[in-house]
Structure 1
Amino acid sequence: MELLNIDCLGKKLRLEGSMAGWQQLFWNNQLVSQVAASPNGDAQIEHTFTLAAKRADPMIQPPEQAIPAETIPVRLVSKVQWQPFILEYQLWQGDKLISEGERSTQDIERQVPEVAPAKQQKFSLIGLASLGFKLLKSAKVVKALLAGASVAAYSWLFSIEFALALIACLVFHEYGHIRAMKYFGMKTKGIYLIPFMGGLALSDERINTRWQDVVISIMGPTFGLFMSLLCLIAYWITGHIFFAGLASFNALLNLFNLLPILPLDGGHILKSISFSMNSMVGLIVCVVAAAFGVWLSYSLGLALLGFLLLIGSLEIVLEWKTRHQSHLLPLDRYGQIFSAVWYFATVGALVSIIWYFAGSGDDMLSLPLEILRS
């Protein structure tokens, strides 16, 4: 992961590191130093390298009398503490200290990682089709078409009233993800409604920490909880059964998203917490959760859930294979506990809403609880 990116002699000096125990230093996107660091981060790491700079000379010299380049010794001294994350650094040019500072988790969250220059590609039909797809995907008309298709699909299955209510639940849920992305300063592409699959909130940028992954993932169900509570209050005020049904089924929808199965929101939360504790623990916990999902999909005959499990299992394998090269800063112990409490509190609140309406005696309002019991 990128730990530091500062200016050094007019070029970018970038420090990358891993909890597995290594650090790499790049100057102007060229590797200049690599050091095996302690995974505990309890010792100072020193990168030493030299740069060649042209000497200033007002007179034009013949080639055989050209002044040789000046060699500049550079040292970067750093100390990393992973949990909680703190990076202290000093940049020396010879015996002169030219830069020093400290970075925290908040700095990592807000940074935009260095991206290597893209290679120029020759014209091809595949490239042209890919460009056209990207332009089409980003167009607002596509969002409108997908939203219309979703309304039509759900109206065909149920009714227009239920379809509009379901769309409102999905949009409110995805808006929670969007708000979390914007909180971290990420650029967003908006919300896409996909018929029979729900919704999708997209961003142009990748996350840098597992805390970002937790917050972005859980804010969808949290906003869904807020919507159910608003519907509950509306039901108390008006007594209209529509608000009761919307509160209960919306709670069930968001509770489903909190299942600890990738790529659902609950799976991302579980992965971030478990892989922050220990990579082996993360693998075991995620595999157990996937096995639970297989059993659940077999018991309920849910083909879609089985498809999601397949995607999630591939993500678990990829996470395990790239655990030593992960660019995500792990959660500290406080972050792990807070994330788990937030998760279980949201699950408990959603279950309580479902349980409350199930006690009304109405068969329709009892259906979400029956689904949980089945």
Structure 2
Amino acid sequence: MDENKDNITVIGNEEANSEQEPPKKKSRWGWFTSIGGVLLLLKASKIWAIIKGALIFLKLGKFLTTGLSMMLTVVIYTFIYGWKYAVGIVLLLFVHEMGHLVASRRLGINTSLPMFIPFLGAIIQMKEAPKDAKTESIVGIAGPIFGALGAFVCLWIGEIFDSMLLYALAYFGFFLTVFNLIPAHPLDGGRIVTAISLKLWLVGIPIMLFFSLYFFNPIGILISILAVKKAWEVWKDRENPYYDTDPGFRLKMGFSYFALFALSAYYTYNLHETLNRH
């Protein structure tokens, strides 16, 4: 098994073609394009080395890595979605990652604080490998559970105040949960099904690959490649006792996984219809 494992929450990118705006109107996409261009001109590794060095110098590295990456993500998303929605989706991502963090710490796994990566999501790093598939699946499902609860809170408050913003955030939270439950490693679903049945990867990987190619999503394509690579490694090491799970736990985890997937998919669809009517 790998020495280090990352729990990744991924946001898919959507591309849209728009008609050219009249010269008098200023588009937020102009700012976004400018920022993207600057970032592309710089090497990501050098940027991170500078930031990391500054954090070590301030002796607040762990806290600032999370805080600064959150703020950077909010700033970038603000240019696209507006500050209210930007803050909301970053907080939902944070809640999701806290699920992984809480589960990891309760199981005695040394885990880093979340780090946010714009357009990719957020990531926490387990500094030691889980001892078995059962442990990996518990850590894996904790994130989607926390994320779904966060989405329910947005939905509940949104219904009280009839807020389209909160409905939109609830939709994002449920959609994020559904996406991350796709049974393809390194998504949460791919980790969860290691304790249910690795054959579910044969369903999740083609689904991920199909939609990634159909919508031409580079992040989805990368996930598909990583999923295929992981599946091949596991196939070669299929006799590893790491994947031995007792039937009772397999049944409980299977029920939890499919129930969470179905519930989140149901609310994703209904909120999508609600938002379209408005």
- State the TM bucket, normalised to the shorter chain: 0.7 to 0.9
For 1:315 and 1:206, locate their aligned partners in 2 and report how far apart those are by CA, in whole Å. Answer: 15
1:186 positional shift: 2.0
Q: Deviations over 1:175-228 (max 9, x none)?
A: 010111122122222111112110112233321121111111111111111111
For 1:286 and 1:192, locate their aligned partners in 2 and report how far apart those are by CA, in whole Å. Answer: 27
For 1:141 and 1:258, locate their aligned partners in 2 and report how far apart those are by CA, in whole Å. Answer: 29
1:364 positional shift: 7.3
Are 1:195 and 2:125 matched, yes or no?
no
1:195 aligned partner, one-letter code: P
For 2:162 and 2:202, locate their aligned partners in 1 and report how far apart those are by CA, in whole Å. Answer: 45
1:343 aligned partner, one-letter code: Y
Are 1:268 and 2:181 matched, yes or no?
no
1:250 positional shift: 1.1
Contact (CA 8 Å) 1:180, 1:219: kept in 2 or not? yes
Task: Extract unaligned runs of 5+ from structure 1.
Answer: 2-128, 276-281, 366-374
* TM alignment of 1:18-37, pairs within 5 A: none
Other structure's SS at 1:190 match? coil
Q: Name the structure 2 match of 1:227.
A: 150
Q: Deviations over 1:274-315 (max 9, x none)?
A: 24xxxxxx4xx4244322322221222222101111111111
For 2:134 and 2:236, locate their aligned partners in 1 and report how far apart those are by CA, in whole Å. Answer: 21
User: Higher strand proportion, which one?
Assistant: 1
Q: 1:292 to 1:236 in 2, by over 3 A?
A: closer
Other structure's SS at 1:163 match? helix
Counting aligned pairs with the same residue, the percent is: 24
Contact (CA 8 Å) 2:137, 2:194: kept in 1 or not? no
Q: Deviations over 1:74-112 (max 9, x none)?
A: xxxxxxxxxxxxxxxxxxxxxxxxxxxxxxxxxxxxxxx
Q: Name the structure 2 match of 1:295.
A: 210
Q: Name the structure 1 match of 2:91.
A: 168
Question: Is the radius of gyration larger for structure 1 or structure 2?
Answer: 1
For 1:319 and 1:364, locate their aligned partners in 2 and report how far apart those are by CA, in whole Å. Answer: 46
Q: Name the structure 1 match of 2:5.
A: none
Q: 1:210 to 1:141 in 2, by over 3 A?
A: same
Q: Name the structure 1 match of 2:227.
A: 312
For 1:258 and 1:206, locate their aligned partners in 2 and report how far apart those are by CA, in whole Å. Answer: 21
How big is the alpha-carbon RMSD for the aligned residues of Structure 1 and Structure 2?
Answer: 2.5
Are 1:339 and 2:253 matched, yes or no?
yes
TM-score by length of 2: 0.73
For 2:100 and 2:277, locate their aligned partners in 1 and report how far apart those are by CA, in whole Å. Answer: 30
Aligned residues: 225
Are 1:143 and 2:56 matched, yes or no?
no
TM-score by length of 1: 0.55
For 1:185 and 1:234, locate their aligned partners in 2 and report how far apart those are by CA, in whole Å. Answer: 35
Other structure's SS at 1:188 match? coil
For 1:310 and 1:199, locate their aligned partners in 2 and report how far apart those are by CA, in whole Å. Answer: 19
Q: Name the structure 1 match of 2:26.
A: none
Q: Deviations over 1:309-363 (max 9, x none)?
A: 1111111122222333x46262111111111111111011112222333443x42
Other structure's SS at 2:196 match? helix
Which residue, out of 158, 170, 177, partners 1:247?
170
Contact (CA 8 Å) 1:175, 1:201: kept in 2 or not? no
Contact (CA 8 Å) 2:85, 2:165: kept in 1 or not? no
For 2:122 and 2:238, locate their aligned partners in 1 and report how far apart those are by CA, in whole Å. Answer: 29
Contact (CA 8 Å) 1:153, 1:196: kept in 2 or not? no
Q: 1:231 to 1:143 in 2, by over 3 A?
A: closer
- When structure 1 is superposed on structure 2, of 141-150 and 190-199 the one drifting more is 141-150
For 1:260 and 1:296, locate their aligned partners in 2 and report how far apart those are by CA, in whole Å. Answer: 14
Higher RCO structure, 1 or 2 (CA under 8 Å, sep 6+):
2
Task: Extract unaligned runs of 5+ from structure 2.
Answer: 2-48
Q: Deviations over 1:163-185 (max 9, x none)?
A: 11110110000001011112212
1:245 positional shift: 1.5
Contact (CA 8 Å) 1:138, 1:189: kept in 2 or not? no
1:293 aligned partner, one-letter code: M
Q: Name the structure 2 match of 1:357.
A: 271
Contact (CA 8 Å) 2:194, 2:243: kept in 1 or not? no
For 1:148 and 1:354, locate their aligned partners in 2 and report how far apart those are by CA, in whole Å. Answer: 27
